[in-house]
Structure 1
Amino acid sequence: MSSSLVTLSLRDNGLRGNLTDGVLYLSACGFQGSIPPSFSNLTHLTSLNLSANKIESELQSTLSNLQHLIHLDLSYNKLEGPLPNNITGFSNLTSLMLYRNLLNGTIASWCLSLPSLIDLDLSENQFSGHISAISSYSLERLSLSHNKLKGNIPEAIFSLVNLTKLDLSSNNLSGSVNFPLFSKLQNLGRLNLSQNNQLSLNLKSNVNNSFSRLWSLDLSSMDLTEFPKIIRKSRVPNWLHEASSSLYELDLSHNLLTQSLHQFSWNQLLGYLDLSFNSITGGFSPSVCNANAIEILNLSHNKLTGTIPQCLANSSSLQVLDLQLNKLHSTLPCTFAKDCQLRTLDFNGNQLLEGFLPESLSNCIYLEVLDLGNNQIKDVFPHWLQTLPELKVLVLQANKLYGPIAGLKTKHGFRSLVIFYVSSNNFSGPIPKAYIKKFEAMKNVVLDSNGQYMEISTLQSENMYSDFVTTTTKAITMKMDKIRNDFVSIDLSQNRFEGEIPNAIGELHSLRGLNFSHNRLIGRIPQSMGNLRNLESLDLSSNMLTGGIPTELSNLNFLQVLKLSNNHLVGEIPQGKQFSTREEGFGFGWKPVAIGYGCGMVSGVGMGCCVLLIGKPQWLVRMVGGQLNKKVKRKTRTRSNENGSRMN
């Protein structure tokens, strides 16, 4: 590296391949601090990759001494401050990757004027100001997303005729731009202008079919009512019907579209479609069956009516079908394909869906999330769902399901389940002890400090669909926009379950939330509940439980909400640890159940209120992640996918 180099140790790093004097690849090695000035002595270096480390401080202008450098990747670090303005080298640089740092200030002009530059990614920083003139006419991929850039889209962008990818999303861009200008970019394959709600797109109705290679388009969260004539009336843009038949990915979610779904043209090559969070009306037209390559279909949060087309259930490509919170009626599709690829099926909140649960759902062996809550489905518990080896989330709440939850016919029943919501039905009989013993995933979920969520993407898409779930009790409706992989919860409330709480519940060590309230449960609170060391919310209210509060519950260090009201509990309240916490700001306290009883005793009178609120529930803080207004986030980057052309 320099004449002063004494020791260079790269052992135990899994390095392979031939050593050269032109390439230095030290990605994800855990390096900290700043880039040593001595790096500028590596004058023969052609490729420098220090990505995914913990490199701090400002970017040093001395790197421009590397005159032969072709590739420079410093992404996924902690670089901060503005880019240096006095860089004059890098004339051979073709790839500059600085995304996911803490860089700020305006984008230095040299970044946008390098003569050989092909790939420039400055996304996910804190750059501000206007986008300056761009003169790197060799650019093929340009990403400036997730910054604080403002002002107009510069006219010079429409002269970058080699562009295959342009991503300006999640900024503060404003002004008006004629959308047909993008058709000048004949090679453009991916265009993302989303989440720039001050940017007005002037879409002329006479757009010709000039987007010959456009296959990915994201105009979500842009307040599209600013579109003249068409969008001002809040309609799906007519130009889409004239767009290229090669369109694979389309996201118009979180806008103000109101046109009938019958007017939508279903592309045979369409693989990802998100029209969620609009006010689209009407039902499905027969042409939806032409979209036989669709993998992710999200039409949730609209005003759709009519029935669910059988062809969607017959699809062998569909992975996500999200129709929640519409006004669909009739019954569920009768049959699901034998080669079903579904991973998420969400019909929650249509309220008019009725009938039986089709047993052919068991064909969907890859199903991870099944949410049919808040409908009018009338059936017994679908025990046959336990054959689905990947099922993690089962939501059947607020329907007309009845009878006992019983029957184990497989050795590993519901082994992957981590969310089990069947509240507000007419289930009866005992708490399903046999199932609880088989909830293997609830026993050993590893706490995820990195905050990973249940998400699905297609191979070719940068967008990711995030599963979410809504649970409703008499007290609160809680929406989790994204479900963390380590979120574990059971809700059997507001049914007619009877008998005792099984001791086996104490084996579900990963439980964060447990709700057995508003049933007919008797007996004592099991001491085994003291083993639920991750429990944050426990609701056993409105039952007929007797005896005392087990002292073992005082060992639940994460417990934030405890509801035991309207039971027949007696004896002293346990002391110590969580039960002795006094946090005035969080409404701690035991309310006496009747006059004459103090805060240290619980009466046997069932009419009393016995609610302990120790702190703000962390499953409302840690478990509920991400954006409240948008369910789709970007896929974690891999260099092999980072290009503007469509993958084959």
Structure 2
Amino acid sequence: MTGMIPQQIGNLKNLEYLSLEENNLVGPIPPAIFNTSTLQVISLKSNQLSGSLPSNMRLLLPNLEFLYLGSNQLVGSLPIEIAGLKDLTYFSLSNNRITGSIPESFGDLMNLESLDLSANNLSGEIPKSLEKLHYLKYFNVSFNRLEGEILGGGSFANWKNVTNLDLSGNNLSGAIPDRICDLNSSLRYLGLNDNQLEGALPLSLINCSELVILNVANNKLSDTFPHWLGTLPKLRVLILSSNRFHGSIHDSIATSSFPRLQMLDLSGNEFTGKLPTKFFQNLKALREEVEYEHDNYRYSVNVTIRGLELPFTITVAIPIFTCIDLSINGFHGEIPEAVGELSMLLALNLSHNTLTGPIPPKFANLAALESLDLSFNKLSGRIPSQLTDLTFLEVLKFQNNNLVGSIPRGKQFETFENDSYAGNLDLCGFPLSKECSNGEGSETENHKVNRKGIAFIWKVALMGYGSGMVLGISMAYVVFTTGRPWWLVKIIERDLKEKVASWIQKKR
């Protein structure tokens, strides 16, 4: 539907439920709507409505329980006198152009269960008064201009029912409160990314037994790898990217298992050391399908894939986009073969490290893999021909390594261009312009040639062994029947040594 909302709706004095959501309605919200005191539900979200909200809503809508006005073009500030809406349970003004601060009076909405003010232009601090909201389950103020400490430095002791807490995309500073999770916490999603938070992850997070997603990317956090989070039984997404995490993740072997983890992003930190085999062996949810209980909540995270940072809306009831991103760190050593056992993995990024050794042929077992980035390392050896079996592979980045030999042909490998292999001076073959010489055939062909060569050497050796035995028996007869002529023995020994050495050198 198009056009404006007619003023005459305000004449429906007994109206209790009004839903005009997901249309193309324009103009302001008619003030007459707020004269309908019987209204309990107003849903006008996903239109093109403009204008501001009346400041005296509490006087006009005493029975209002649900107010959905998200995804419009509303301006102005939040209504200060909203506190009188004692029955208000769900309030959403997300994706508008609301300015100003969050009024302290919002802390008096004692029955409020869901508050979504995300994607506006709100500023100031998060009022400490909000800690009084005992029934709050969903709190989202992400992507505003809020500053100061989380919840004004207040306590989370009363927020025992909160399942979704999203404070991402603001200018919040200070440390993450130590009591953000208590023993009775129901928290499932914690989004603190894209702020200015400092310090370490609070150990109280280990009490978040229901936590599914933890995102603290793009802050100033400084800590070692939180291996203790591996004991959380439901954790499926751990995003620590673009912080100052440091040290080795090798210490996590003994204490963490991360049995449900499906998305791990440690990129853009200062991690060092080798990639521990045991760590990857413990990622059960990436090795086999795992069933999850039903959950209607949807969560949003950003994932870097195919060179772009893309938002993903995630429903916990279905499998999450599975990926491991360890790029832009200081990891060294060889890639563990255990990584090739993560058969549920869709994206793997190990770029911009100092990894050495060959690409594990076991990567051919990553049957679901769509994106593989091993660029800017020091990997050597040939590209395993088994990787051509990855039929879902859409993105391949091997550039700036020390790879050699011909590039495998077939299936998905026919679709990749020069950029996938740039910076490997000893690579040859399609799609590169450098052709392979006769001695640089495919790995399979070289393997066959080597087998034939080995067989030929063994045949020659056996022939030499046979003729040598005849010669030896004959010489023994001559020696023992003629009284051991030493001059003949020495000549034969010298001659044999020279010929054998020459033959071996040629075969080598």
TM-score, with length taken from structure 2 = 0.77
8 Å contact kept, 2:241–2:267: yes
Aligned to 1:469: 301
2:135 is the alignment partner of 1:293: yes
Deviation of the 1:178 alpha carbon = 2.5
Supply the distance in 2 between the matched residues of 1:496 and 1:179 (Cα, whole angstroms). Answer: 60
Supply the distance in 2 between the matched residues of 1:485 and 1:346 (Cα, whole angstroms). Answer: 19
8 Å contact kept, 1:176–1:201: yes
Aligned to 2:331: 497
Superposed CA deviations along residues 339-365 of structure 1, whole A, max 9, x for unmatched, are 111000010010x21111111101010
Task: Choose which of 215, 226, 234 in structure 2 pairs with 1:382.
Answer: 226
Supply the distance in 1 between the matched residues of 2:427 and 2:285 (Cα, whole angstroms). Answer: 46
Aligned to 2:193: 348
Task: Choose which of 402, 421, 425 in structure 2 pairs with 1:568.
Answer: 402
Tell me: CA distance 1:558–1:453, structure 2 relative to 1, closer, same or farther (3 Å). farther
Letter of the structure 2 residue corresponding to residue 431 of structure 1 = L
Supply the distance in 2 between the matched residues of 1:569 and 1:432 (Cα, whole angstroms). Answer: 23
Deviation of the 1:154 alpha carbon = 4.2
2:26 is the alignment partner of 1:174: yes
2:330 is the alignment partner of 1:478: no
8 Å contact kept, 2:133–2:158: no
Task: Choose which of 68, 85, 102 in structure 2 pairs with 1:218.
Answer: 68
**Could you say what secondary structure the match of 2:25 adopts?**
strand
Could you tell me which runs of 5 or more consecutive residues in structure 1 were left unpaired when the two chains were aligned: 1-148, 226-230, 457-465, 604-648
What is the 5 A alignment of 1:478-627? 478-482=310-314, 485-581=319-415, 599=430
Superposed CA deviations along residues 155-201 of structure 1, whole A, max 9, x for unmatched, are 55444444432211010123444334343251x2211011221x345
Deviation of the 1:580 alpha carbon = 1.9
**Could you say what secondary structure the match of 2:155 adopts?**
helix
Aligned to 1:193: 44
8 Å contact kept, 1:325–1:349: yes
Supply the distance in 2 between the matched residues of 1:511 and 1:294 (Cα, whole angstroms). Answer: 36
Supply the distance in 2 between the matched residues of 1:180 and 1:369 (Cα, whole angstroms). Answer: 43
**Could you say what secondary structure the match of 2:26 adopts?**
strand
Supply the distance in 2 between the matched residues of 1:179 and 1:573 (Cα, whole angstroms). Answer: 69
Tell me: CA distance 1:397–1:455, structure 2 relative to 1, closer, same or farther (3 Å). farther
TM-score, with length taken from structure 1 = 0.61
Supply the distance in 2 between the matched residues of 1:531 and 1:454 (Cα, whole angstroms). Answer: 31
Aligned to 2:503: none
Aligned to 1:164: 16
Aligned to 2:100: 259
Supply the distance in 2 between the matched residues of 1:421 and 1:375 (Cα, whole angstroms). Answer: 14
Letter of the structure 2 residue corresponding to residue 339 of structure 1 = N
Task: Choose which of 427, 440, 464 in structure 1 pairs with 2:284.
Answer: 440
Tell me: CA distance 1:575–1:193, structure 2 relative to 1, closer, same or farther (3 Å). same
Tell me: CA distance 1:308–1:207, structure 2 relative to 1, closer, same or farther (3 Å). closer
2:193 is the alignment partner of 1:337: no
What is the 5 A alignment of 1:102-113? none
Tell me: CA distance 1:474–1:398, structure 2 relative to 1, closer, same or farther (3 Å). farther
Supply the distance in 2 between the matched residues of 1:218 and 1:517 (Cα, whole angstroms). Answer: 44
8 Å contact kept, 2:225–2:247: yes
Supply the distance in 2 between the matched residues of 1:596 and 1:206 (Cα, whole angstroms). Answer: 72
8 Å contact kept, 1:179–1:201: no
Letter of the structure 2 residue corresponding to residue 581 of structure 1 = T
2:153 is the alignment partner of 1:302: no
Aligned to 1:270: 112
Letter of the structure 1 residue corresponding to residue 121 of structure 2 = S
Supply the distance in 2 between the matched residues of 1:292 and 1:413 (Cα, whole angstroms). Answer: 34
Letter of the structure 2 residue corresponding to residue 244 of structure 1 = L
Structure with the bigger percentage of helix: 2
What is the 5 A alignment of 1:53-452? 149-155=1-7, 157-186=9-38, 188-197=39-48, 199-200=49-50, 203-207=53-57, 209-225=59-75, 231=76, 235-241=77-83, 243-263=84-104, 265-266=106-107, 267-309=109-151, 310-312=154-156, 315-335=159-179, 336-350=181-195, 352-405=196-249, 406-409=251-254, 413-445=257-289
Letter of the structure 1 residue corresponding to residue 383 of structure 2 = I
**Could you say what secondary structure the match of 2:229 adopts?**
helix
Deviation of the 1:260 alpha carbon = 1.6
| Number of equivalenced pairs | 427
**Could you say what secondary structure the match of 1:166 adopts?**
strand
Q: Percent of counterpart pairs with the same letter?
A: 38
Letter of the structure 2 residue corresponding to residue 194 of structure 1 = K
8 Å contact kept, 2:358–2:380: yes
Supply the distance in 1 between the matched residues of 2:166 and 2:80 (Cα, whole angstroms). Answer: 24
8 Å contact kept, 1:314–1:340: no
8 Å contact kept, 1:215–1:249: yes
Deviation of the 1:597 alpha carbon = 5.6
Tell me: CA distance 1:591–1:498, structure 2 relative to 1, closer, same or farther (3 Å). closer
Computing the radius of gyration from Cα coordinates, the structure with the larger value is 2
Supply the distance in 1 between the matched residues of 2:70 and 2:420 (Cα, whole angstroms). Answer: 46
8 Å contact kept, 2:404–2:426: no
Tell me: CA distance 1:256–1:575, structure 2 relative to 1, closer, same or farther (3 Å). same
Supply the distance in 2 between the matched residues of 1:294 and 1:409 (Cα, whole angstroms). Answer: 37
Tell me: CA distance 1:496–1:453, structure 2 relative to 1, closer, same or farther (3 Å). farther
**Could you say what secondary structure the match of 1:441 adopts?**
helix
Supply the distance in 2 between the matched residues of 1:368 and 1:597 (Cα, whole angstroms). Answer: 45
Tell me: CA distance 1:475–1:176, structure 2 relative to 1, closer, same or farther (3 Å). closer
Tell me: CA distance 1:314–1:370, structure 2 relative to 1, closer, same or farther (3 Å). farther
Letter of the structure 2 residue corresponding to residue 278 of structure 1 = N
Superposed CA deviations along residues 556-612 of structure 1, whole A, max 9, x for unmatched, are 111011111111100110111111237xxx998755855996546799xxxxxxxxx
Tell me: CA distance 1:490–1:343, structure 2 relative to 1, closer, same or farther (3 Å). same
- Farther off after superposition, 269-278 or 401-410: 401-410
Supply the distance in 2 between the matched residues of 1:547 and 1:594 (Cα, whole angstroms). Answer: 12
**Could you say what secondary structure the match of 1:223 adopts?**
coil
Tell me: CA distance 1:500–1:313, structure 2 relative to 1, closer, same or farther (3 Å). farther
Supply the distance in 1 between the matched residues of 2:230 and 2:339 (Cα, whole angstroms). Answer: 19
Letter of the structure 2 residue corresponding to residue 546 of structure 1 = S
